[in-house]
Amino acid sequence: MSSSLFGPLVLDIAGLSLTEDDKQLLQNPFVGGVILFSRNYQSPGQVTQLINDMRSIRPELLIAVDQEGGRVQRFKSSLTRLPPLASLGQLYDQNTQEALMYATELGWLMASEMLVLGVDISFAPVLDLAYGVSSVIGDRSLHASPEVVIILAKAYIRGMNQAGMAATGKHFPGHGAVSADSHHALPVDTRELDDIRQNDLKPFNALVDTLAGIMPAHIVYDRVDSNPAGFSTFWLQSLLRNEMGFKGLIFSDDLSMKGAAIAGNYVDRAFQALHAGCDMILVCNDREGVETLLADQSLTQWQVNQQRVRALKGKPQVSDVAALQAMERYTTARDLVAHYSAAQ
């Protein structure tokens, strides 16, 4: 397959190394990326080898991870234990300037540690507001105020960009106001569009030009559209693309989540997400679902906008872990994490 082509499917693998089945799947032109989980990580050396093995099969693959910090940090051993993003908001309420400096260094540190391993993107930052009702968002949110989220996220993204990583905002247009977890149910947000515009949409609007990727929520905003945001032409095309002018890449959230089941079987989910406006679709922790998609000939010719994918490809500052650890900024950033974590 030519490296100039990108497939829309982002899948996962089961273990610390590639199986023969994995190798076969990665050669399918419908596959364009891999998302890694904790089960895929043992050490920096091991995961670097795993990624190198994937790239030896498909050099153009987009390699992703959720490395937000706190509850959502997939790679831990021998790396910095990152605090939840809510810690930045807590510091902001005490000392604005320190929080902005810390946000930039935290974004740089997270991105630098991932890029040096060969990961292109961490799906970060979370731009959902902290309403205090969503257990799945919780301390993943920077703050309750959209204005504070904008300020802190901008600083965090600046750090990511300095490291060489593009930012992906989630979960558009906002997951924080519903209590149900879309991993296990289909949440319904009953607010009017004006309410969402005045609150949850503000960070996405303000940061749209700094984001290379956006991930919509598996949530139905029933006063706006009967489809979840990730399957909605209104949210993804009319609002995000046309009104807000977003030019980056739209990732579906995981299509194996219960919040996606409303769209039907895996083929139906993929079709609806792609036709609604998603560029890439995630299917995680369900190899049978992946194989079902790859067997459907009507999907296999789908290709992704190459420019959008290339804007997300990582550009690391250094080539290996030892070089990163030798950087003065790396030592300083880790010291800041230790200092502020101890202070909370």
Any catalytic annotation for residue 296? no
Structure tokens that stand for 201 in this block: 């949409």
Residue bearing tokens 């593009």: 166
Give the full edge-to-edge strand order of the sheet including 62-65.
Answer: 121-122, 62-65, 31-36, 9-11, 280-282, 249-254, 213-216, 168-172
The residue from 12, 66, 128, 253 that is catalytic is: 253
Q: DSSP H helical segments within the chain, as ranges? A: 20-26, 44-57, 86-94, 96-115, 146-163, 193-198, 201-207, 233, 266-276, 287-295, 306-310, 321-325, 328-343
Q: What distance, in Å, lies between the first and last C-alpha atoms of the chain?
A: 51
Give the CA angle between residues 186, 187, 191 to the nearest 5°. Answer: 145
Phi, psi for 34 (deg, rounded to 5) = -135, 135
Q: Using omega within 30 degrees of 0 as the cis cutoff, is the peptide bond preceding 316 cis?
A: no
Q: How far is CA 171 from CA 150, 217, 250, in A?
A: 14, 5, 11
Phi, psi for 254 (deg, rounded to 5) = -55, 120
The residue from 183, 225, 268, 296 that is catalytic is: 183
Any catalytic annotation for residue 320? no
Of 212, 106, 201, whose CA–CA distance to 160 is shortest? Answer: 106
Active site residues: 183, 253
